[in-house]
Amino acid sequence: MAALTPLDGGQIKKSRASLVGGIAVGIGVFVLWAAIAKELGAGGAGPLFGGALVGLLVGLWIWKADL
């Protein structure tokens, strides 16, 4: 039986559009995180650091997954 292989060789694409999209989504996630933290009354550097970390990870995922 023949094995199925992806047409693109199975490589993860990392285009410039994905990079820009990842940066935009990462910034958006951070802004929303900061707004929700402010609305809930969570002040200080902890929630902002958490939001920056989550924004970075989501942005990297968008870039790597080429979404």
Residue by residue, pLDDT tens for the chain (67 residues) are 566 666 666 665 567 888 888 899 999 999 999 999 999 988 888 899 999 999 999 999 988 887 6
Q: What is the spatial distance between Cα 13 and Cα 27, in angstroms, rounded to a whole number?
A: 22
What does the pLDDT read at residue 39?
Answer: 92
Q: Are residues 27 and 58 in contact, defined by beta-carbon separation less than 8 angstroms?
A: no
DSSP letter at 1 equals: -
Q: 10-26 burial string, b = 16+ CB within 10 Å, else e? A: eeeeeeeebeebbeebb
